[in-house]
Amino acid sequence: MKTNNLNVPRLIAAGLVLYGHSAIFLGHPEPLFLSWMPLGPLGVAIFFIISGYLVTQSWQQDPNLRRFFIRRCLRIFPGLIVCVLFCIFVLGPWLTNLPLKQYFAHEATWNYLRNIGLYITFYLPGVFEHGRVPNAVNGSLWSLPLEFFLYFVVAVLGLISTKKWITIATFLTSALLYLCWAQSATEMLVVYGTDLRQLFINGTYFWAGAVFYQLNLKNQLFFLTKWVILFDW
């Protein structure tokens, strides 16, 4: 089975996120999977699992630090730069309730450029201020700093050892911190604009994907994703 077959779970995950989050924006409770997990976070979890699988595969197939980060940067930053500039210079002026001169003079408008450096901010002045989720312009950017940090961890672990056990141990450690701390912690632990709880919540799914790769369980990953979706619908 070719790697591109993972595009099917990706599309499914995107659909789950859109469907789950649309309920919130329409003022309805987010639908649950098995009366347990909201569909939006379920879709995000699938994304992180697939990412963990593919990023680990990328490192294992070419464990060169420079080429690895060139690939990772090309994966994230060209699209991110276009997205951020579009939000500032097209979406913002179109939707803001401020006069354009005031919009462009506002400090927050230019602070939005920090997203390019993975310091995530969602606020553009006058945009979506009275929405059901106020002041959230392109809220999906929150995951990018986590992804990029996990790239670093994959590279560091790969330089330390190519043994499968190190990936499995990292997954188990992350899962333990997720269960014992991150999922129950009520206070955010913010570093560089990112809540570190998410590093162990969604990071655990990322390392699960890495374990799937290390144990050569790609078919199981694909069919597990299909089962989740078929069961839900």
DSSP 91: I
- What's the number of domains the chain is made of? 1
Query: What is the SS3 assignment for 33?
Result: strand
Q: What share of the chain is helix, strand, coil (3-state, %, to 5)?
A: 70, 5, 25
pLDDT of residue 11: 81
Judged by average pLDDT, the poorest of 50-59, 119-128, 131-140 is 131-140
In a domain, 24, yes or no: no
What is the maximum span of the chain, computed from C-alpha positions, in angstroms?
59
Whether pLDDT at 61 is above 70: yes
pTM: 0.86
In a domain, 163, yes or no: no
pLDDT band for 18, please (50, 70, 90 cuts): confident
In a domain, 130, yes or no: yes
User: Could you tell me the residue range of the domain that residue 96 belongs to?
Assistant: 65-141
pLDDT of residue 29: 78
- Residue 172 · residue 214 · CB < 8 Å: no
pLDDT of residue 1: 40
